[in-house]
Structure 1
C-alpha cells in the first residue's frame, strides 16, 4: 500500500491542500464521475448537496434531501475512488447538535474526508439564489462546536460555510467565519463572493484555508486559479460543472434520437465503449472472472 493510501481520508485532503496552491476540487455527481476526475489528475473531489437533490432525486436544492440520500452517494463514490471527498451536508440534517453529530460520525464511517456545514436556516436555498435566511451567529457556532466534538477522527476536516454576505454584508460574514474558526472549524467557505478583494479580506481575517466556490451561472465571477491564488484562496471548487455538461449532452442526445429515429447523428459526441471500460477498469474485472472460470473447469 502506498503512503498516500495508508493515510486517512482527512489526512489526504489536508495534504492535498498543502501541496497544490490553490487546490482544485471538482464536483463528481456519482462514482463514475469520481473515476473520471481521478483520471484527469484532480487530487480531491466533491459531492454537492444540490447535485444529490437534482441528480439522484430529481428535486430542487431546498433542503428536501436527507442524510441517508447523501450517504448513499458518498458510499458509492468512496467504494471505488480513493481521492479525498469533500461533502456538502447543508445545515447538518437536523435542528439539534445530536443531528449534526450523527452527520459527522456517518460521514467519517462512510469514508468522506471533509464536510462543509452552513449557516442557513433548515429550509435552505441554493447559495446563489435570492431571499436566503440565516441563523444567528451563535447558532452557527453551536453547529461547528457540535461537529468538532463529534469527530471520531481528528484528521477529518470541518469546513464552515457562511451565506451571510447576501443577507448581512461582508463584515458580518467575516465575523461569523472568525467565530467559526474559534469554535474549531478547520477551513472556511464564504459563499457567493462577488469580488476578488472579498477573498483577500476573508483570508486575512480567518488565518485558515479559504475555499472559493466557482459555480457557473451564479453570483461569483468565473475567476481563474491564478487570480484566486493572488487573493490567498487555498481551494477552488467547481461543484456542478461536469453535471451541467452531462445534462446538456443527455438532452441533446434524447432530442436527436426522438427527432431522427436514430442515434447515428450524435454517436461521435459519445464516450466510446472502450473509453468507458478503461475508466471503470472493466478488463481487470473480466480477467479475474476469466481466471475464476478457468479454475472451476479444472
Structure 2
C-alpha cells in the first residue's frame, strides 16, 4: 500500500533545490502519464483544467469538492511522481478546510493551496474577483496546518488581492498567511516583471510560486528568468487545456468536412505506439499469467 512518503519528501527536496521546479497542470490521467513520460518531476492538478475536462465549464466554482477529489485520486494513482493540488477556498468553513486537507493528504497529494477569494471563485486572471477579509484565510491556513498528519504535506497560501486592491495589499496578506503557517506563498496575477520581482523581495526566505498563463495578466517569463528572480517553482496551468482544445477542434473540423483524418494524421500517435504507452502488453501478460492454463500448470507442480 502506498504511503506517499517518498513523493512528499521528493517534492520538498525539489522545492528546496536552487533550481526552479517546472510544473504543468494536467487536466486528466492520460495527460499526467504523458507529462511523466517526457520528464516532468512533479505535476499539478488545478480547477481550471479539471473543470474544463470534467464538465466543459469555466473556472467559476462550478466544479465541486467531490469531483476535484476524485480527479486528484485518479491522477495520483496513475503516476509515481509528486502531485500538488489546487483546493480553491477550502470548500467551506474551517471544518470543511480540515476535511479537505485530511482527504487530499490521504489521497496522496504532496500538498495543496488555499486562496482568499469569495466563493464562488473565479480563475485568477478573470475580471470581477472579490476577496474575503485577511483574517478569514489566516484562520483557514491555521486550520489546514493543524489538520495535516505529516509535516511533509505542504500548505501554500494564495491571494487574489492584487487585482482587487493592488500589489502592496497582496503582499501584506501573504505575509499574514505565511505567519499563520503557510509553507509556500503564491501571489496571483502580478502585472509586470517588476511586480514579480517585488514579490520575491518581500519574501527572501519563503518558497514562491509563479503562474504562467497564456494571455493572462502576468507577462510570460522563461523558466530561467523566474529562477533568476528567485522563484522556487513555476506552474503552467492552462497550456495543456488550450492545446487539447486546439487539437480537438482542428481534427474534428477536418473529420466533419472531409470524413477522414488525412492531414491530422501526422499529428497523431500510431495505434501500436499508443497501446504500448498505456501498457497494453503488460495487461495482456497479466491476463496470460492468470489464465486457466497458467493456473492449472501452477497447481499441477
- TM-score normalised by the chain length of structure 2: 0.93
Q: Is the 8 A contact 1:39 1:279 kept in 2?
A: no
8 Å contact from structure 1 (residues 48, 240) kept in 2: no
Shift of the 149–6 alpha-carbon distance from structure 1 to 2, 3 Å rule, reads: closer
Equivalent residue for 1:257, pick from 245, 250, 255: 255
Greater Cα shift, 260-269 or 221-230: 260-269
Q: How does 1:110-189 map to 2 (within 5 A)?
A: 110-189=107-186
Which residue does 1:217 correspond to in 2? 215
CA drift at 1:273? 2.0
Contact persistence 1:193–1:219 (CA under 8 A): yes
Structure 1 unaligned segments of length 5 or more: list them: none
* Partners of 1:115 and 1:157 within 8 A in 2: yes
Q: For residues 271 and 243 of structure 1, do their structure 2 counterparts lie closer, same or farther at Cα, with a shift above 3 Å needed?
A: farther
Residues 1:205 and 2:216 aligned together: no
Q: Which residue pairs with 2:51 in the alignment?
A: 53
Comparing 101-110 and 200-209, the one that deviates more: 200-209
Runs (4+) of structure 1 moved beyond 6 Å?
A: none
The answer for the alignment partner of 2:24 in structure 1 is 26
Cα distance in 2 for partners of 1:277, 1:26 equals 24
Task: State the TM-score, normalized to the length of structure 1.
Answer: 0.94
Contact 1:197 1:231 in 2 (8 A): no
2:106 counterpart residue number: 109
Q: Secondary structure at the match of 1:264?
A: coil
User: Partner of 2:84: helix, strand, or coil?
Assistant: strand
> Displacement of 1:272 after TM fit?
1.8
| CA offsets 1:216-243 (integer angstroms, 9 cap, x no match) | 1211111001111121111010112112
CA distance in 1: counterparts of 2:216 and 2:254, whole angstroms: 29
Work out which of the residue numbers 25, 33, 36 in structure 1 matches 2:34: 36
Tell me what 2:77 maps to: 79
Larger radius of gyration: 2
Is the CA contact (8 Å cut-off) linking 2:4 and 2:108 kept in structure 1? no
- Cα root mean square deviation, aligned: 1.7
- Secondary structure of 2:257's counterpart equals helix
Distance 2:274 2:49 in 1: 22
Mapped partners of 1:297, 1:266: distance in 2: 48
- Paired residues of 1:162 and 1:176 also in contact (CA < 8 A): yes
Q: Is the 8 A contact 2:193 2:219 kept in 1?
A: no
